[in-house]
Structure 1
Amino acid sequence: MTESSGVPLRVVSYNVHGQRDDAAALAAVVRGAAPDVVIVQEGPRRFRWRHKSAALAESFGLVVAGGGLPALGNLLLTSLRVRVLATRCQQFPLTPGRHLRGAAYADCVVAGGARFTLAGSHLSTDPAERPGQAALFKRELDAAATPVVAGADLNEGPDAPAWATIARGLTDAAVAADRADRLTYSCADPRRRIDALFVDPRITVVDYDVVDTPQTRRASDHFPVLVDLLLPVTG
């Protein structure tokens, strides 16, 4: 497909490790990718989270679209190419003794006339919790009125049940680009692909990369997922 038959969108999905690593490297990594949208996991969610979210977005050259504390650290950032029409947040039921988890959603339109639903989530490290959280996230994705672009840290690989739930009916961007062998975690010792980008089948995956450089190894404990898409023009 050529760009004339779709609207380009560059996406980064990135677990930023609570910004506990090299903040300058983190900002440089994202700015260097020049994305239209960034789906952040482990973004600001505590004291002064609005200010911290805005500062993170500014360091990336982007603006806050939605998420943050109400989405329990899932944050959606956009460039000025993308107009945000509506946002919503989701919190998954709390299992006593565990961390709260959730998701963020934004209804967007990108310059060129393509509407899409941007979504991000971060599932539990507990395998007993993940399937239920995945089902709740998937229910919202299935209900979206426009083509979905969903990034997540699933805390499990493609052969596990929560991953299968979310992937059902969607395109795994890594598989579409024949790069499912690219591992996302951990930067210190890459062994697993637990970070993913899923898209509506109407969306074309042009390119996919897991950015492994000395800079990304300083920026977080996860590598960023960088994907180029072509969105269908919607009426």
Structure 2
Amino acid sequence: MSAGVRLRVVSYNIHGQRDDTAALASVVRSAAPDVVIVQEGARRFGWRQRNAALAESFGLVVAAGGLPSLGNVLLTSLRVRVLGTSCRRFPLTPGRHLRGAALADCAVGGARFVLAGSHLSTDPAERPAQAAAFKQDLAGAAWPVVAGADLNEGPDGPAWRTLADGLTDAALEMDRADRLTYSCAEPRRRIDALFVDPSIRVVDYDVVDTPETRRASDHFPILADLLLPVAG
């Protein structure tokens, strides 16, 4: 195996913690991730305290996100150093839910990477512009990107294609694109994705479907093991 730094990633739409929160915490702790890319984290009153409590329940800390990124939250273990963060809000369409993205410049071992997360609109007319804005952030990253997102569309959609362009779809890389992510009650679609820079090796990928994950949220979590290139 080529030299590199291991990173375990979970990307997870947690449904606003409206389901079994004990199961949610157990699912993430059992995965023992280095980073968690959260969609539908706290974004309203008390969001700092609520996201801090979520991170603590996972055994992690908050790196970025919350209200500034409209519910996208990046969590890390103490193994990962966070060197800088940024948040984006996508342009508002009247009458629609606000959407955004969170990014963090991170270091682990001898590797540098940019962790990013987003949650695109349920409206197909809005998603392409949101994907283009998020893609602009990813394209401007100074280090290899690890990006998780709930795209609210499948791989045949224009927003998905925009984000996947030039990046590795971790599911395809591991020949596991048949693993469906939504919904837990009736799995029928792959609308959650993990994209990584081509310099990052995908060692393993799966969608965790267990009785516990079916209680924890309406989405299944993505779990991936990556090998990051050592920074030159």
What's the TM-score, normalizing by structure 1?
A: 0.98
- Deviation, structure 1 residue 183: 0.2
- What per-residue deviation string (whole Å, max 9, x for no partner) do you get for residues 38-75 of structure 1? 00000000111000000000000000000000000000
Q: Which residue does 1:96 correspond to in 2?
A: 94
Partner-residue secondary structure (3-state), 2:7: strand
Runs of 4+ in 1 over 6 A off after TM superposition: none
Partner-residue secondary structure (3-state), 1:185: coil
2:196 aligned residue (199, 205, 210): 199
- What per-residue deviation string (whole Å, max 9, x for no partner) do you get for residues 67-97 of structure 1? 0000000000000110000000000000000
**One-letter amino acid matched to 1:6:** G
Q: Which residue does 1:217 correspond to in 2?
A: 214
CA distance in 2, matches of 1:93, 1:120: 17
Q: Which residue does 2:66 correspond to in 1?
A: 68
1:130 to 2:137 alignment: no
1:77 to 2:63 alignment: no
CA distance in 1, matches of 2:157, 2:75: 29
What fraction of aligned residue pairs are identical, expressed as a percent? Answer: 81
Q: Which residue does 2:185 correspond to in 1?
A: 188
- What per-residue deviation string (whole Å, max 9, x for no partner) do you get for residues 119-174 of structure 1? 00000000000000000000000000000000000000001100000000000000
CA distance in 1, matches of 2:16, 2:112: 30
- Deviation, structure 1 residue 198: 0.1
Q: How many residues matched?
A: 232
**One-letter amino acid matched to 2:75:** L
CA distance in 1, matches of 2:140, 2:85: 14
> How big is the alpha-carbon RMSD for the aligned residues of Structure 1 and Structure 2?
0.5
CA distance in 1, matches of 2:136, 2:68: 19
CA distance in 1, matches of 2:58, 2:42: 14
**One-letter amino acid matched to 1:105:** L
CA distance in 2, matches of 1:201, 1:81: 23
CA distance in 2, matches of 1:47, 1:133: 25
- What per-residue deviation string (whole Å, max 9, x for no partner) do you get for residues 186-220 of structure 1? 00000000000000000000000100000000000
Partner-residue secondary structure (3-state), 1:88: strand
Give matches, 1:1-235, under 5 Å. Answer: 1-2=1-2, 5-110=3-108, 112-235=109-232
Ranges in structure 1 where 5+ consecutive residues have no aligned partner: none
CA distance in 2, matches of 1:202, 1:113: 15
